[in-house]
Structure 1
Amino acid sequence: MRPVLVVGDLATDVVAVLSGEPAPGSDRPASIRTRGGGAGANVAVHLGRLGVPVTFAGCIGADAAGSALLGELTAAGVDLAVRVVPAAATGTIVSLVEPGGQRSMLADRGANLDLAPGDVPAPASGEHLHLSGYTLLDPRPRPAGLAALASAAAAGATTSLDPASTGPLTAYGVDRWLADTAGVTLVLPNADEARLLTGCADVADAARALAARHPAVAVTLGAEGALWCSGDVLVHRPALPTEVVDTTGAGDAFTAGLLAAWLADEQPTPAGLLDAGLALAATAVARPGAR
């Protein structure tokens, strides 16, 4: 199993599962829980639990929340390359989950925005770098993300990246994102992100367009499963039947499941890679929280 370096956000998720539709201007009963989150950290924790050698690089504030998050990562078997930023608070994400699992997220990224190039270890030859797209979408941590990609390329390491979210991706600029990520080995967008990045209305056409730029693409389709595209190969696999409680972190779980299969010593088929990602995503959406 090849080791993985994950670079990205580490945060506290405050997950509010609503008992009914939102009630603007009034009250709505909800089940509220605090859990570990952050797209990069979610991937790292899932990989660690799957037995993949993994290191997480990121930043936290000098507070109890940050210490608790580091304890969770360590308990999952994740090695840490995390800098404490005394003047910043650890990131917090509020997730409002509606009936059926659809969620809205409110992000205070806190110390994650202080990530600097020096915070990211240089990947070794044979290692894999997974970069959370959020790292590129803000001008402060962007140099760290670009430096991580450049260092991985210099070492001959394989790389993967998720585009993160359509809102900040639109603000960042599609052309700039495509230029910044041109050398990435595996891109992992959801359907909306794939359409945004290519201008293709059909998600299969979007996957093919991205596969013309990258060696491999895996597109998550929510309840419809996922697509794999590499060269002329296009494979679809359905989602596993499951009761959806909370979709927060489903994409991160899919990424970790797929990467664990991809980086193993075996040579799985595209269908096997998708099935591995979809199986872990099905487990993630069946409970509140990202991990």
Structure 2
Amino acid sequence: MTVVIVGSVNQDVVARVDRIPGPGETVLGTSLTRSGGGKGANQAVAARRAGGAEVAFVGAVGTDADGAVLRAALEGDGIDVSGLAEVDGPSGTALIAVDDDAENTIVVVPGANAALPRLAEAQRTVVARSLVLLTQLEVPISLVEDAAALRPTGSWHVLNAAPSSPFVSAAERLLPGIDVLIVNEHEAREIAGADDLESAVTVLSARVRALVVTLGERGSLVVVGGERVHVPAFAARAVDTTGAGDTFCGVFAARLAASGRLPADADAALLADAARWGAAASAISVTRPGAQDAVPQAAEVARLREESE
């Protein structure tokens, strides 16, 4: 197995609105769509479709109709779902509002994503075959800890600390098992307990082997040891930023797998190249509505990379 994603899978319900409503305010939407989502599943689709990697997904869906739809969608992208458990009750759901400026607000009801505190035997088998393990924090922390402990010696563990609040309380347990920590600016400051980004980067880069901070339209910052590399973003006319960070993470993990290198050999150039591929994929994704629906094909990403050289 190449890239194994342990994480959440949701049914996204997306309303397009002229503007995001304030507290107590009602606005009229212009459209309503349903599609696959969840940070883990989004990243799995990105690693497979845009990154071209062999991918397996480990998580849980419910016994409702959404669970069957979500499983079928992942299978349709050629993702191994032998580690996707079915648990009694509803699947995860995300209620998303997207405005005319491509900004969004998201409410996640975890459902089945919160039902498994530990990996089941079949899931443990999948994780044990990983070259790159990619995790996030929309599932119980104990599940992430299980996966980190079970990955093969010498394999990568890339943790996207989103949402960041669970990481703060579990940092001391999680940090020793992380090879690459990916966060956005807000997450970096919250985890580091810092008021500004520079201080946050200094604190976090001293505690992990490698750090990647995504900066939106300003690109990303890669830090390995004392070396820092700024990776510029690709220009894009955004219509929906939902899932853009997940697309970045999935393709980043796929490029690490494609490199054939191990964490002990990691340097800033390797991670910056992976981040550049992630940036290209996410730039394409924001020009399309949805999360998984917006993930581009690998050929599109390669074409954008070539055109920018």
SS at match of 1:177: helix
For 1:263 and 1:285, the matched residues in 2 are separated by 24
Bigger Cα displacement from structure 2, 204-213 vs 157-166: 204-213
Bigger Cα displacement from structure 2, 98-107 vs 23-32: 23-32
Q: Cα–Cα, structure 1 residues 3 and 240, in superposed 2: closer, same or farther, change >3 Å?
A: same
The two structures have a TM-score, normalised by structure 2, of 0.83
The structural deviation recorded for 1:183 is: 1.9
Asked if the contact 1:10/1:39 (under 8 Å) is kept, the reply is yes
Bigger Cα displacement from structure 2, 15-24 vs 251-260: 15-24
For 1:26 and 1:184, the matched residues in 2 are separated by 43
Asked if the contact 2:128/2:150 (under 8 Å) is kept, the reply is no
Asked if the contact 1:235/1:270 (under 8 Å) is kept, the reply is no
Equivalent residue in structure 1 for 2:133, among 129, 135, 138:
129
Matched, 1:41 2:41: yes
Q: Where do 1:270-289 residues align within 5 Å? A: 270-289=271-290
Q: Cα–Cα, structure 1 residues 73 and 126, in superposed 2: closer, same or farther, change >3 Å?
A: closer
Q: Which residue of 1 aligns with 2:6?
A: 7
Asked if the contact 1:257/1:279 (under 8 Å) is kept, the reply is no
For 1:219 and 1:247, the matched residues in 2 are separated by 17
- RMSD in angstroms over aligned alpha carbons? 2.1
Equivalent residue in structure 1 for 2:224, among 207, 222, 230:
230
**Tell me, which stretches of 5 or more residues in structure 2 are unaligned?**
262-268, 293-309
Q: Where do 1:215-226 residues align within 5 Å? A: 215-226=209-220
Q: Cα–Cα, structure 1 residues 178 and 203, in superposed 2: closer, same or farther, change >3 Å?
A: farther
Q: Where do 1:111-260 residues align within 5 Å? A: 111-115=112-116, 116-118=118-120, 120-122=123-125, 123-124=127-128, 127-135=131-139, 141-152=140-151, 155-166=153-164, 169=165, 172=166, 174-260=168-254
Opposite residue 109 of structure 2, the aligned amino acid is D
SS at match of 2:138: helix
For 1:21 and 1:128, the matched residues in 2 are separated by 37
Q: Cα–Cα, structure 1 residues 75 and 125, in superposed 2: closer, same or farther, change >3 Å?
A: closer
Q: Cα–Cα, structure 1 residues 232 and 22, in superposed 2: closer, same or farther, change >3 Å?
A: same
SS at match of 2:290: coil
Q: Cα–Cα, structure 1 residues 84 and 266, in superposed 2: closer, same or farther, change >3 Å?
A: closer
Q: Which residue of 1 aligns with 2:306?
A: none
Opposite residue 59 of structure 2, the aligned amino acid is G
| Number of residue pairs the alignment of both structures matches | 279
The two structures have a TM-score, normalised by structure 1, of 0.88
**Tell me, which stretches of 5 or more residues in structure 1 are unaligned?**
136-140
Opposite residue 109 of structure 1, the aligned amino acid is P
Deviations 1:263-287 (A, max 9, x none): 2136764432221111111112111
Opposite residue 282 of structure 1, the aligned amino acid is A
Bigger Cα displacement from structure 2, 199-208 vs 32-41: 199-208
Q: Cα–Cα, structure 1 residues 118 and 126, in superposed 2: closer, same or farther, change >3 Å?
A: closer
The structural deviation recorded for 1:125 is: 6.3
SS at match of 1:264: helix
Bigger Cα displacement from structure 2, 198-207 vs 34-43: 198-207
Q: Cα–Cα, structure 1 residues 114 and 162, in superposed 2: closer, same or farther, change >3 Å?
A: same
Asked if the contact 2:61/2:112 (under 8 Å) is kept, the reply is yes
Q: Cα–Cα, structure 1 residues 71 and 173, in superposed 2: closer, same or farther, change >3 Å?
A: closer
Q: Which residue of 2 aligns with 1:138?
A: none
For 2:36 and 2:240, the matched residues in 1 are separated by 14
SS at match of 1:121: helix
For 2:95 and 2:37, the matched residues in 1 are separated by 10
